[in-house]
Structure 1
Amino acid sequence: MYKNLTLATALTAVSAMPLMAAVTAATTTELNLRAAPGPQAEVVAVMPQDATVDIAGCTSTDWCKVSFDGTEGWAYSPYLINTTMPEPTVIYQNTGTMEIETIEVDNNAADATAGAAIGAGAAALLVGGPAAVAAGAILGAAGGAAAPADETVTYVTQNPVEPVYLNGEAVVGAGLPQEVEIYTVPESEYSYAYINDAPVLVNPEDRRIVYVVR
């Protein structure tokens, strides 16, 4: 009798423990799924805009471990929106209120490389930093240009330049810091650069990415 009561009490205590709810998110733009957190990690897949992902946890900075279409990897959290909340909420800097598990990773090497090419003060890809990226995601500000001419894409891919590594992802709508050199494309209104190994077309007037060549 005593054993039965003890077991019942234990089961009640276990069932009463709060469980961390699974978090489902959506991508706000075409987004890389990487093998590890950081802009230099291998790209294992490219997730389309509005793709659904399941979040297993996030680092204390700005990367989340996710599952997309059966593939696990890491995604940049300013471009992920929690779809299980009453209002769309960017994952970035909100993991605590969403009770998302924190994953500890060593980002020292990635951070050092990201700042090396243009200086430590220009580590954020979007002008204004990841917080501005997150705000733009909520407002749907990441709009791109129409597909460029084939000649433009060919020129960019056949004339690679030294890549610049920045924190975050090279996505449409992101702005490049002034320290990043952009290059002219003949007979085109756009300039170009290689950001985190990805060729990108840039509007030279505001230095924002208008197209990512994949």
Structure 2
Amino acid sequence: MSKTVILATASALALSGAAFAQTATSATATTDLNLRAGPGPNYEIASVIPADGAVTIDRCLTDGAWCEVSYDGTTGWAYSQYLTATVNDEPTVVYQNYEPLEVTTVERNTLGGSVLGATVGAVAGALVAGPVGAAAGTAAAVGGAAGGIIGADAGLPETTVTYIQQNPVEPVYLEGEVVVGAGVPQDVALYDVPEEPVQYAYINGRPVAIDPETRQIVYIVR
């Protein structure tokens, strides 16, 4: 092969690589969102993507809502129901829109033991999804569902946070992600905080405060 052909081939590869980089899907977190070591709620939390934090989506599970993303130099898995990207100039929830977003998908059983072998507990149910997309910020601002006794994302007294931290309970792992506004199933035990209108549980590796009337998460202890 001549030197000219080699140079031309190298240039073409470089250009195709640049084009690929430009088409990588960017997304934004609609709420504070855990970045996990693997595709599930029972993997260790590596970091937290802040609300409105920008990520690059590397790939997503074909049969689920977990996507491998890069945020601020860290790569991990995030729950794509709380990620939005742009399709036709409109913000679009990433979950169930992998094809129009041109996101690479992968089967869970092809990920290998280095990813799938690091769980910390068994998944026993599912959270009721909280607000998604643009609605997430609005819901957090106005509070939980009608009839709740405490607003969503409410600030908790320091004594309440300390009590929850110093009185750990049996952890449970539920499909989905712990975000403000997510609902906790009826079969998950909630625990009282003395002289406070909230209850709490340890869900998906995080202590969370819960409105006992709506069973919605109102505060996440980080």
Give the TM-score category using the shorter length: 0.7 to 0.9
Determine if the alignment matches structure 1 residue 76 to structure 2 residue 66. no
Name 2:101's counterpart in structure 1.
98
| Aligned ranges 1:46-65 → 2 under 5 Å | 46-60=48-62, 61-65=64-68
> Structure 1: which 4+ aligned runs deviate by more than 6 Å?
107-110
Question: 2:167 and 2:86 mapped to 1: Cα distance?
Answer: 41
Name 1:26's counterpart in structure 2.
28
Structure 2 residues not aligned, in runs of 5+:
141-151
- 3-state SS, counterpart of residue 97 of structure 1: coil
| Aligned ranges 1:110-189 → 2 under 5 Å | 113-115=122-124, 123-126=125-128, 130=129, 133=130, 136-140=132-136, 141-143=138-140, 144-189=152-197
Question: 2:36 and 2:53 mapped to 1: Cα distance?
Answer: 15
Deviation, structure 1 residue 35: 1.1
* TM-score after normalising by structure 1: 0.79
The answer on whether the counterparts of 1:152 and 1:185 sit within 8 Å (CA) in structure 2 is: yes
Relative to structure 1, the CA distance from residue 30 to residue 85 in structure 2 (aligned partners, 3 Å threshold; closer, same or farther) is farther
AA partner of residue 61 (structure 2): T
* TM-score after normalising by structure 2: 0.77
Question: 1:45 and 1:19 mapped to 2: Cα distance?
Answer: 27
Question: 2:212 and 2:44 mapped to 1: Cα distance?
Answer: 29
Relative to structure 1, the CA distance from residue 195 to residue 169 in structure 2 (aligned partners, 3 Å threshold; closer, same or farther) is same
The answer on whether the counterparts of 1:23 and 1:84 sit within 8 Å (CA) in structure 2 is: no
The answer on whether the counterparts of 2:37 and 2:45 sit within 8 Å (CA) in structure 1 is: yes
Deviation, structure 1 residue 80: 0.3
Deviation, structure 1 residue 137: 3.0
Higher normalized strand content (fraction of residues) = 2
Structural RMSD (CA): 2.6
Structure 1 residues not aligned, in runs of 5+:
116-122
Deviation, structure 1 residue 85: 4.4
Deviation, structure 1 residue 104: 2.2
Q: After superposition, what is the alpha-carbon deviation per residue over 1:66-108, rounded to whole angstroms, capped at 9, x for unaligned?
A: 0101111110000000046411100001101211100222399
The answer on whether the counterparts of 1:156 and 1:199 sit within 8 Å (CA) in structure 2 is: yes
Question: 2:81 and 2:182 mapped to 1: Cα distance?
Answer: 11
AA partner of residue 39 (structure 2): P
Deviation, structure 1 residue 38: 0.7
Relative to structure 1, the CA distance from residue 167 to residue 199 in structure 2 (aligned partners, 3 Å threshold; closer, same or farther) is same
Question: 1:87 and 1:181 mapped to 2: Cα distance?
Answer: 40
Deviation, structure 1 residue 159: 0.8
The answer on whether the counterparts of 1:26 and 1:83 sit within 8 Å (CA) in structure 2 is: no
Question: 2:153 and 2:36 mapped to 1: Cα distance?
Answer: 25
The answer on whether the counterparts of 1:31 and 1:171 sit within 8 Å (CA) in structure 2 is: yes
How many residues were matched structurally? 189
The answer on whether the counterparts of 1:31 and 1:49 sit within 8 Å (CA) in structure 2 is: yes
Question: 1:83 and 1:212 mapped to 2: Cα distance?
Answer: 28
Q: Identity of paired residues, percent?
A: 48
